[in-house]
Structure 1
């Protein structure tokens, strides 16, 4: 390295430590991207999987799996919940959830009926009536939608009539509102061409999709490279300046 000065030990140590940290963060982001893509593939494959007995997976569902189950119960038809922030094609509308009571079980199963599109006027669409007798349902047993910060706290507690509307669906708040415990996951019903609801379910990685993880990984790898480049630039030997007497 004739063109470079020997760096001090602390500068070399700081550069190596920083570069290794940035590389490790980049690798972690790549692993997160691969993990989420694998989850999305498993989710898509679950739509055509054989039906399982709900009782076998109800309390302890697989952490990285989405069982397709069949379950029977009765809707609490007067206790509907509307999620007012689903991302569809701009028409407006709501995602509709209904609690299902299973015979002999204290827990309620929250059922995602699907997306009910609006007519573009910003008003809540008219909800079709639910069957009052026992129903047999099938769909994917999936985690609830992600929860974020809601201004003003629990919006459900402030509403006195159903259906109740919120921009997030917090299972803990729904359970308190209903006065009954909920199963740890919810049932996303299978698509039905005859249903008024649109049922195109997917995992919500909108805030951090796999592509964004890869973009962050590239950013961290760039930082690692920049740390090495800065060390080399700072310790590059400079040609001595000629004095004016030498120039004359």
Structure 2
């Protein structure tokens, strides 16, 4: 009678384990990075809140990128002529929805010009406005780069925009975005990365244990 042949002991897979641990380390690093971004964003929001409380005016930043110290500050520009209108949906200062009339203004013979939100209308017809001095609040412009553009490094610096304190004739004053509306979802993103790391580790351990069972 022949004796049963002993099966070789199954070993913990080395290379797959290294790859999985490396992936988990990357997830954890991304979670830590999001926690750091959370602190940075909180400091930025605090800066914006201080800017809102300031009554002094600053020079309008015509060239991007816009320094954070200029956002939500009071300023003024001279629009020699609106060369293009960019109507967009928005709300007035009382919360009523409408169409924001954003003018791309010429400020000289050359240069990038400035973006001015001159008020809220009820339709897409631009107002009969030929330009002039506009006083208002500096906010981020409507054409902000997407997250994907920032990741791949294909984004161009966003321009600022001035929301007029006094709308042009026939329009209502546009609502000024609040500094508190600045998104800060980094804590949730950090928890997601940590959760993915834990789940990946548990799934891998269970899969290997099942593989090692005789």
Normalising by the residue count of structure 2, what TM-score does the alignment of the two structures yield? 0.62
What are the ranges of 5 or more consecutive residues in structure 2 without an aligned counterpart? 1-9, 147-155
Alignment partner, residue 47 of structure 1:
52
Q: What is the count of residue pairs matched by the alignment?
A: 190
Instruction: Map 1:168-207 to 2 at 5 A.
Output: 185-189=159-163, 191=165, 196-202=172-178
Aligned to 1:140: 138
State the distance in 1 between where 2:64 and 2:210 align.
64
Query: Are 2:76 and 2:135, in contact at CA under 8 Å, matched by a contact in 1?
Result: yes
Closer/same/farther in 2, CA of residues 42 and 113 from structure 1, 3 Å limit:
farther
The alpha-carbon distance between structure 1 residues 93 and 133, as it changes in their structure 2 partners (threshold 3 A), is: closer
Question: How big is the shift at 1:196?
Answer: 2.0
Deviation of residue 226 (structure 1)? 2.0
Does the alignment pair 1:221 with 2:197?
no
Change (3 A) 1:78 1:233: closer
> Partner residue of 2:184?
210
Change in CA separation of 1:15 and 1:237 when aligned onto 2, cut-off 3 Å? same
Deviation at 1:193, TM superposition (A): 9.9
Cα distance in 1 for residues equivalent to 2:27 and 2:113: 46
Q: Do residues 12 (structure 1) and 17 (structure 2) align? A: yes
Question: Aligned runs of 1:68-217 on 2, under 5 Å?
Answer: 68=73, 70-74=75-79, 76=81, 79-84=84-89, 86=90, 92-102=97-107, 106-114=111-119, 116=120, 118=122, 124=123, 129-130=128-129, 132=130, 134-140=132-138, 142-146=140-144, 185-189=159-163, 191=165, 196-202=172-178, 209-211=183-185, 213-217=186-190
User: Is residue 26 of structure 1 aligned with residue 31 of structure 2?
Assistant: yes
Instruction: Name the residue aligned to 2:152.
Output: none
Tell me, in whole angstroms, the C-alpha distance in 2 between the residues paired with 1:44 and 1:58. 22
Contact 1:188 1:201 (C-alpha < 8 Å) held by counterparts: no
The match for 1:64 is: 68
Normalising by structure 1, we get a TM-score of 0.56
Alpha-carbon separation, structure 1, partners of 2:76 and 2:165: 16
Segment drifting more, 213-222 vs 71-80? 71-80
Give structure 1 stretches of 5+ with no counterpart: 119-123, 149-171, 173-182, 242-248
Residue 10 to residue 99, structure 1, CA distance change in 2 (3 Å): closer
Q: In angstroms, what is the RMSD of aligned CA positions?
A: 4.4
* Residues 57-82 of structure 1: per-residue CA shift (max 9 Å, x gap): 43365543335353342453684331
The structural deviation recorded for 1:24 is 1.5
Higher relative contact order, structure no. (Cα contacts within 8 Å, ≥ 6 residues apart): 1
> 1: CA distance between counterparts of 2:63 and 2:95?
36
Structure holding more helix per residue: 2
